[in-house]
Amino acid sequence: MEVVFCGVRGSTPAPGPEFVRYGGNTSCVAIGRPGEDPVLVLDAGTGLARLTRYIDGRPFRGTILLGHLHWDHTHGLPFFSSGDNPGAKVHIVIPAQGDAVEVLSRAMSPPHFPVRPDELRGEWTFESVEPGSFSFEGFDVLVREIPHKGGRTLGFRVSDGSASLAYLSDHSPQSLGEGPDGYGPYHEAALDLARGVDLLIHDSQYTADEFAARADFGHSSIDYTLGLANEAGVRRLALFHHDPRRTDAELDAIVARLEGNVPADIDVFAAAEDVVITL
């Protein structure tokens, strides 16, 4: 399994020289097999446009799973030229909450945007799903509902039979209670998704100091992310959905502070655009 980080920010893009190394695009992770174009995409933030460059402009033929429908996870759809392409074949999957095209069109249609999702070029299909087990593009995908403020939100566990990853891009566990450390419980859905995976990609928007004032914003603290990784027996942990104000230097400092303060059997790093990981 090959994993490509196309966008790693949360909330809004972060342009400017202080965000160059980790990247300023919003959430998007592409999955495929080594030597082949990615066929499964998790979220469609502004980072989705970078996937076109990664596949040298070829038409995209695969599935895009949207964890939820906030702007920072959907804004890339109409600007994905490998998808908005006569040769493309794109299947969009969203959390069930009504007709998928109509729900997406609330934000992507006139007068807010020139075209609707079903007016993009190529062959586009749309599906709403409830939590469960699925097969998309030859990958086994476990879908669980996770807490997040402002709309139904799903987390994903993706496996190809030899490697696995979990993706919880926006996660607000404290809405379920304080948990053992005050950052929220390690609840059943999160553990189902993360248990024993080779790579956990998880919302890590706030430091502990920031979380005290922003606990009701709908995101996780870095401390919760580390605790979940340890509780679930994760091998590698990607800090993800970086705060849009978090500079490269500040992310470097966070990673440096974690050295020696996390279990030795967990490799922790801050996700960065264009990083490719083979599991």
Here the tokens at position 246 are 């978090």
Do residues 152 and 97 lie in contact, with contact meaning Cβ atoms separated by under 8 Å? yes
Mean pLDDT of the chain: 95
- CA 1, distance to chain mean position in Å, is 17
Helices assigned H by DSSP within 90-161? 100-105
Q: Is 27 helix (H, G, I), strand (E, B) or coil?
A: coil
Answer whether residue 149 shows pLDDT above 90. no
> How far is it, in rounded angstroms, from Cα 7 to Cα 4?
9
Helices assigned H by DSSP within 74-221? 100-105, 188-194, 208-214
Residue 218: what pLDDT?
67
214 — pLDDT class (breaks 50, 70, 90): confident
Q: Is 117 helix (H, G, I), strand (E, B) or coil?
A: helix
Q: Where are the domains of the chain?
A: 2-278
* Residue partners of 252: CB distance under 8 A and separation at least 6: none
> How far is it, in rounded angstroms, from Cα 200 to Cα 186?
14
58 — pLDDT class (breaks 50, 70, 90): very high
Q: Which of 206, 99, 95 is nearest to 144 (CA)?
A: 95
> How far is it, in rounded angstroms, from Cα 224 to Cα 146?
14
Residue 102: what pLDDT?
96
215 — pLDDT class (breaks 50, 70, 90): low
Residue 222: what pLDDT?
92
Do residues 171 and 182 lie in contact, with contact meaning Cβ atoms separated by under 8 Å? no
pTM value? 0.96
Average pLDDT over residues 2-28: 97
> How far is it, in rounded angstroms, from Cα 76 to Cα 51?
10
Do residues 155 and 170 lie in contact, with contact meaning Cβ atoms separated by under 8 Å? no
Average pLDDT over residues 243-257: 96
* 61-82 residue pLDDT tens: 999 999 999 999 999 999 999 9
Helices assigned H by DSSP within 71-214? 100-105, 188-194, 208-214
Q: Which of 49, 46, 52 is nearest to 11 (CA)?
A: 46
Here the tokens at position 132 are 């469960």
Q: Which of 271, 53, 45 is nearest to 165 (CA)?
A: 271
* 118-147 residue pLDDT tens: 999 999 999 999 999 999 999 999 999 999
Answer whether residue 217 shows pLDDT above 80. no
- CA 137, distance to chain mean position in Å, is 18
Answer whether residue 117 shows pLDDT above 80. yes
* 176-195 residue pLDDT tens: 888 888 889 999 999 999 99
CATH code for the part of the protein at 2-278: 3.60.15.10
